[in-house]
């Protein structure tokens, strides 16, 4: 999932300035009339009426996909920071009252080798589920050059990804998936009984559920296209996810050809909702461009998600009703906001953003009180 936002930063934004001390933070703003850029120091835009007491948790590198523990006291997330020896994403955890201003890394959960993604707490808050390529190779896997594909963004679907669990010290590693191909993007039901994940085991990128011990695997989506980034509703009865749906013969051929190479082009996606067993599938958005990183509002009646449908130059958070009405913009960043998650008590929102990064490509975590 995090590969998507790296593309968005690198391919759709104009970034200026050199990296300076990370205690001085700012955001690059593009002026469409003049074509110039300027730097604005802020962690909270005045239009963001649903956010209060916004606090920055990380200060440099790429920090993303932060998710709360079931008791809302901790988060688990991934970091890439070459200055700290993290060549590609690894999984870490820390208390929500902490921050990383001192430059120290928090508690490592993953093995420290390969590439990881999409971590989530398991019931009891003492263990983590996440995806990793470390069994395939200890090195970071190759990232394809988009110039080899006509400048289009191409995301590798590494067939060495499998799903694992580990305790809060990164010990007691247990493998949950063994099928050939991509198994990744796991999240856990608030009921504590199921994991949803994305897999290529059928020959396409589909959603599956399994018990938290890896048993009783069931395929729940079947349409051609990339189904991923799924999350359960607060009561565990529904799922929300992002999906691409190639329709024309040309789109279908391109999708299948890329998938045969272990690649996907996730730049045209919409938000879908279904029951936890895959029934009653409904498309929620029809906005065009990339609509992704969805999460249920605490009421279970709305979806918050990231989108660039208003501007190719920036991604912001939006919220929409389950029937597709009531679209509302939540954040007003000039660069990139994504990966929102509400705390289980519904009082806080955590998200990743390029705001306050001194015009660099750093992506940091921000937490805020949520105001309905």
The tens digit of pLDDT for each residue in 205-228 reads: 999 999 999 999 999 999 999 999
**Residue-averaged pLDDT of the chain:** 91
Q: Which of 20-29, 73-82, 197-206 has the lowest mean pLDDT?
A: 20-29
Instruction: Determine the pLDDT at residue 109.
Output: 98
The tens digit of pLDDT for each residue in 88-118 reads: 999 999 999 999 999 999 999 999 999 999 9
SS in 3 state form for the chain?
CHHHHHHHHHHHCCCCCCCCCCCCCCEEEECCCCCCEEEECCCCCCCCCCEEEEEECCCCCEEEEEEECCCCCEEEEEEEEHHHCEEEEEEEEEECCCCCCCCCCCEECCCCCCCEEEEEECCCCCEEEEEECCCCCCCCCCCCCHHHHCCCCCEECCCCCEEEEEECCCCCCEECCCCCCCEEEEEECCCCCEEEEEECCCCCCEEEEEECCCCCCEECCCCCCCEEEEEECCCCCEEEEEECCCCCHHHHHHHHHHHHCCEECCCCEEEEEEECCCCCCEECCCCCCEEEEEEECCCCCEEEEEECCCCCCCEEEEEEECCCCCCEECCCCCCEEEEEEECCCCCEEEEEECCCCCCCCCEEEEEEEECC
CATH number of residue 91's parent domain: 2.120.10.30
How far apart CA 79 and CA 87 sit, in angstroms, is: 9
Instruction: Determine the pLDDT at residue 37.
Output: 56
Instruction: Determine the pLDDT at residue 41.
Output: 72
Instruction: Determine the pLDDT at residue 150.
Output: 85
Instruction: Determine the pLDDT at residue 34.
Output: 52
Contacts of residue 118, defined as CB under 8 A and 6 or more positions apart, other chains included, come to 1, 65, 130, 131, 184, 185, 186, 187
The tens digit of pLDDT for each residue in 233-288 reads: 999 999 999 999 999 999 999 999 999 999 999 889 999 999 999 999 999 999 99
C-alpha separations of 8 from 3, 20, 104, 128, 266 in Å? 9, 22, 27, 28, 11
How far apart CA 90 and CA 88 sit, in angstroms, is: 7
The tens digit of pLDDT for each residue in 1-24 reads: 555 544 444 444 322 222 323 333
Instruction: Determine the pLDDT at residue 341.
Output: 98
Using pLDDT thresholds of 50, 70 and 90, give the confidence band for residue 25.
very low
Q: Which domain holds residue 11?
A: 2-370
Query: Among 131, 153, 158, which Cα is nearest to 142's?
Result: 158
Q: Between residues 153 and 356, which one has the greater pLDDT?
A: 356
The tens digit of pLDDT for each residue in 318-340 reads: 999 999 999 999 999 999 999 99
Q: How many domains are contained in the chain?
A: 1
Using pLDDT thresholds of 50, 70 and 90, give the confidence band for residue 86.
very high
* pLDDT (average), residues 178-182: 96
């Amino acid at each position: 999932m995090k590969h998507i936002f790296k593309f968005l930063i690198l391919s759709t934004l104009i970034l200026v300035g050199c990296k300076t001390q990370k205690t001085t933070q700012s955001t690059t703003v593009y002026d469409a009339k003049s074509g110039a850029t300027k730097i604005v120091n802020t962690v909270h835009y005045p239009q963001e009426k649903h956010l209060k007491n916004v606090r920055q948790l990380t200060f440099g590198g790429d920090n993303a996909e932060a998710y709360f523990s079931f008791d809302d006291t901790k988060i688990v997330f991934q970091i890439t920071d070459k200055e700290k020896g993290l060549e590609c994403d690894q999984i870490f955890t820390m208390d929500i009252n902490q921050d990383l201003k001192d430059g120290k890394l928090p508690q490592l959960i993953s093995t420290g080798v390969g590439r990881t993604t999409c971590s989530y707490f398991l019931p009891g808050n003492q263990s983590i589920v996440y995806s990793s390529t470390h069994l395939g190779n200890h090195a970071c896997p190759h990232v394809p050059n988009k110039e080899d594909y006509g400048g289009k963004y191409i995301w590798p679907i590494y067939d060495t990804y499998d799903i694992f669990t580990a305790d809060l010290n990164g010990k007691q590693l247990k493998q949950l998936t063994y099928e050939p191909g991509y198994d990744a993007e796991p999240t856990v039901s608030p009921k504590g009984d199921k994991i949803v994940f994305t897999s290529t085991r059928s020959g396409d990128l589909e959603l599956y559920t399994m018990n938290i011990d890896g048993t009783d695997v069931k395929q729940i989506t079947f349409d051609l296209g990339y189904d991923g980034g799924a999350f359960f509703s607060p009561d565990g009865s529904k799922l929300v996810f992002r999906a691409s749906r190639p329709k024309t013969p040309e789109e279908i051929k391109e999708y299948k050809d890329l998938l045969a190479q272990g690649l996907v082009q996730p730049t045209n996606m919409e938000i879908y909702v279904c029951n936890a067993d895959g029934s009653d599938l409904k498309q929620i958005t029809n906005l065009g461009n990339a609509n992704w990183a969805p999460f249920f509002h605490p009421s279970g009646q709305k979806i918050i998600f990231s989108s660039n449908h208003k501007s190719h130059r920036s991604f912001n958070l939006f919220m929409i009703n389950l029937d597709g009405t009531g679209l509302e913009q939540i954040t007003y960043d000039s660069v990139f906001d994504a990966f929102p998650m509400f705390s289980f008590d519904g009082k806080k929102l955590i998200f990743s953003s390029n705001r306050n990064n001194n015009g660099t490509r750093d992506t940091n975590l921000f937490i805020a009180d949520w105001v309905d």
